[in-house]
Structure 1
Amino acid sequence: MTQTRLAPGDPAPDFTLPTADGGQLSLSDLRGRKVVLYAYPAAMTPGCTTQACDFRDSLASLQGAGYAVVGISPDKPAKLAKFVERDSLTFPLVADEDKSVLTAYGAYGEKQNYGKTVLGVIRSTFVIDEDGRIERALYNVKATGHVAKLRRELGI
């Protein structure tokens, strides 16, 4: 199974997905802003919680530099709502239950988990420019320390 991997300059696949708060978010709604879209396997698991809280704690500096942050996972909106409430998350989380958007971004597919090859969400972060093009596509990122590293790379 060959997996799509996005590269700088590629158009970011557009999407309209349900959000934790019962609304919908389209990537095209964010045109004109830079976007950090991060894909994570499951709400309320330890690594994903660490990563979400890091984004929450860094949100002011990211927004100050012109970035919107959006988290995407295959969780149901109701689970995302619990995650937002439990961890006071202050940026949108979108639900990609059929994994079609995650797949389009190359963030769903075969990965190594404890030495076994499994199908799942590949923890990834995409930096999308104001015109909707991929500026950075980072695959297999670590949950811990990733946001700090990303901020360094972006000069924030």
Structure 2
Amino acid sequence: MISKGTKIDTNFSIKVVDNGEEKEVEFSELLDRPTIVSVYMKNNTSSCDRQTESLAEHSKWFDEKGYNLIAISKDGCRSHKNYAKKQGIDYILASDPDYKFARATDSIVEKSMYGNTYESPSRSAYLIDIDGTVLEIIEKVNTKAHAEELKELVESN
């Protein structure tokens, strides 16, 4: 995993759902102000639902503090559109099936399920400045209190 103070490569395209609209953008375009990127595994799973709901409940606070909020998973935009509507999500959901963001942050880890091992992005969060510099990292997200742990990072910067 990259370390705090590292500048990531932001020159990759990614599909997002923003206000119900699907579009493909350069990741760097999303960094028009400091940005929080929260990585989760899959829509409609209990721990991921808690993580994204926590952000949805506090999204206005982050906006008022001057931060963009992005949650990213391997789910496609069609799934993201339905998920955003179901969960009341008003921030950007990004689709990253090729793990471009995880590669940029060197956060692909080995996991195992039912005796099978595979590689997948870690459940982590990043506070990234407009130039791509990582200001803060949460290496292991607390799904039950994710917004609160991010608020602490924002307040300390």
Percent of aligned pairs with the same amino acid: 21
1:11 equivalent among 7, 11, 14: 7
**C-alpha separation in 1, matches of 2:143 and 2:107:** 15
**What is the TM-score with the length of structure 1 in the denominator?**
0.85
- In the other structure, the counterpart of 2:82 is 82
RMSD (Å) for aligned C-alpha atoms: 2.2
Moved more, 97-106 or 84-93: 97-106
**C-alpha separation in 1, matches of 2:73 and 2:29:** 19
Q: Which residues of structure 1 form unaligned runs of 5+? A: none
Q: Which residues of structure 2 form unaligned runs of 5+? A: none
Determine if contact 1:17/1:95 at 8 Å carries over to the other structure: yes
Task: Tell me the SS of whatever aligns to 2:29.
Answer: helix
Aligned residues: 152
1:67-106 matched pairs, under 5 angstroms: 67-106=67-106
Task: Tell me the SS of whatever aligns to 2:83.
Answer: helix
Moved more, 114-123 or 8-17: 114-123
Residue 66 (1) aligns with residue 66 (2): yes
Please list the CA deviations of residues 49-103 of structure 1 after superposition, one character each: whole Å capped at 9, or x if unmatched.
1111111111111111110001111111111111111111101111111123223
**C-alpha separation in 1, matches of 2:108 and 2:42:** 12
Amino acid at match of 1:80: H
- In the other structure, the counterpart of 2:52 is 52
**C-alpha separation in 2, matches of 1:60 and 1:24:** 24
Structure 1 residue ranges, 4+ long, deviating more than 3 angstroms after superposition: 111-118
**What is the TM-score with the length of structure 2 in the denominator?**
0.85
Determine if contact 1:103/1:109 at 8 Å carries over to the other structure: no
